Amino acid sequence: MSKMRKGFLPLLIAAVMVFAAACGSGSGESNESNGGTTSGAGGSNNANQSTNAPANESNGGQNNGGAESAAQKLSGSIEIDGSSTVYPLTEAAAEEYAAEQPDVRVTVGVSGTGGGFERFCAGEIPIADASRPIKDSEAQACSEAGIAYTELSVAYDGLSVVVSKDNDWVDYLTVEELNKIFAQGSTVKTWADVREGWPAEEIKMFSPGADSGTYDYFNEVILEKAGIRSDGQISFSEDDNTLVQGVAGNKGGIGYFGFAYYEENTDKLKVVPIDGGNGPIEPTLDTIKDGSYSPLSRPLYIYVSNKALEERPEVKDFVRFYIENIGGMAKEVGYVPLPDEKYAEEAAKIKV
């Protein structure tokens, strides 16, 4: 009996130890699991602390930032129309913006500055590209339609006068000679009529159409608003690439358009230095920026509907992106960026 007790006691102790270990293990698992849930909650918490260190910074991050994050994930479509000169800038901004907001579709048309303003002031589009400031008549049309807007400068351009690569006689032109060639009522037929000693090669002119801001600018600063001739020697187009092809294909051709289109076609065209009174100056990024390429240096604009800025987050965000980034893109597409402080001024206008 004593032996049985002695044998039984170790067995009893072993059984108690196994039972205790099992209970402890279950509790331990439960704690781990709670730790897991606490880790999940604590992981949540830790995650929350981890996201909370950033997320209480970030609870903002989740509440604000989450709300902000949700607000930043935008969708919709934005239609832009207007100047063919501003088109390369706006198209570049639209392409870059697609990487940031892939669900916002931005389309860019080229009906000319006047055509863009017509649609803008009719409320058809929220943004218009313009290579000149809005005219009084256009501003009146916007006002009558209840369209309030914000004008934003985006870059500088140098309106470039070009001739064919085959033209080996034009070394420069004065403002007066340009006027003589293009003005309404001009009797100039050949290059010999422009300057003594030049050949009797027929002049074929290529000009942006009347809806173009480039046409308006040229008419104002070169022709003193006399208007551009409209006879059999001149062709008009709102498409700058058509003008490029026209000049390039005519030995006696001459045309004008934004500097970016010349830059893209230096293999086909020769740019003409212009003498505005201080000797012939060729358009370059430097001469456009410092204003010495006068009188054909000019600012470029976009016009944005204030209502769209206030009510359409995708429009406001795109315009913010445009102004913040276009300076870096401008040189890549053949334009001169504004000074940084000017972009800061423009950015301040859209913080409505």
pLDDT tens per residue across span 288-304:
999 999 999 999 999 99
Q: In what order do the strands lie in the sheet with 173-174?
A: 173-174, 274-275, 280-281
Q: Pick from 261, 302, 340: which is nearest to 126 by CA?
A: 302
Domain termination residue (choose one: 272, 295, 318): 295
Q: Which domain holds residue 130?
A: 74-156+299-349
**Do 164 and 285 belong to one domain?**
yes
**Do 192 and 247 belong to one domain?**
yes
Give the DSSP H/E element, type plus range, for residue 81. Answer: strand 76-82
Residues ≥6 apart with Cβ < 8 Å to 116? 81, 82, 83, 109, 125, 128, 129, 130
d(CA 111, CA 96): 23
Instruction: Please tell me the predicted confidence (pLDDT) of residue 352.
Output: 54
Q: Tell me which residues of the chain have a pLDDT lower than 70.
A: 1-71, 352
**Do 131 and 258 belong to one domain?**
no
Number of domains in the chain: 2
**Do 132 and 191 belong to one domain?**
no
**Would you say residue 255 lies in a domain?**
yes
**Do 165 and 234 belong to one domain?**
yes
**Would you say residue 63 lies in a domain?**
no
- DSSP assignment, residue 116? H
Query: In this structure, how many other beta carbons lie within 10 angstroms of the beta carbon of residue 48?
Result: 17
**Do 168 and 266 belong to one domain?**
yes
**Do 257 and 329 belong to one domain?**
no
Domain termination residue (choose one: 256, 280, 295): 295
**Do 254 and 191 belong to one domain?**
yes
Question: Do the Cβ atoms of 163 and 247 come closer than 8 Å?
Answer: yes
Q: Report, in this order, helix, strand and coil percent for the chain, each rounded to 5.
A: 50, 20, 30
**Do 168 and 268 belong to one domain?**
yes
**Do 231 and 173 belong to one domain?**
yes
Residues ≥6 apart with Cβ < 8 Å to 348? none
**Would you say residue 170 lies in a domain?**
yes
Instruction: Please tell me the predicted confidence (pLDDT) of residue 68.
Output: 38
How far is the first Cα of the chain from the last one, in angstroms, to the nearest whole number? 97
**Would you say residue 15 lies in a domain?**
no
Instruction: Please tell me the predicted confidence (pLDDT) of residue 63.
Output: 35
Question: Do the Cβ atoms of 10 and 4 come closer than 8 Å?
Answer: no
What are 46's strand-pairing partners? none
Instruction: Please tell me the predicted confidence (pLDDT) of residue 232.
Output: 94
**Do 134 and 256 belong to one domain?**
no
SS3 category, 304: strand
Helix intervals (H) in 122-239: 136-144, 175-182, 213-221
**Would you say residue 4 lies in a domain?**
no
What is the SS3 assignment for 18-61? HHHHHHHHHHHHHHHHHHHHHHHHHHHHHHHHHCHHHHHHHHHH
Whole-structure pTM value: 0.74
Q: What is the CA radius of gyration of the chain?
A: 34
**Do 313 and 256 belong to one domain?**
no
Instruction: Please tell me the predicted confidence (pLDDT) of residue 158.
Output: 96
CATH number at residue 315: 3.40.190.10
Residues composing the chain: 352
**Would you say residue 334 lies in a domain?**
yes
Q: Pick from 288, 296, 156: which is nearest to 217 by CA?
A: 296
Question: Do the Cβ atoms of 127 and 227 come closer than 8 Å?
Answer: no
Domain termination residue (choose one: 295, 316, 340): 295
Give the DSSP H/E element, type plus range, for residue 302. Answer: strand 297-305
**Would you say residue 100 lies in a domain?**
yes
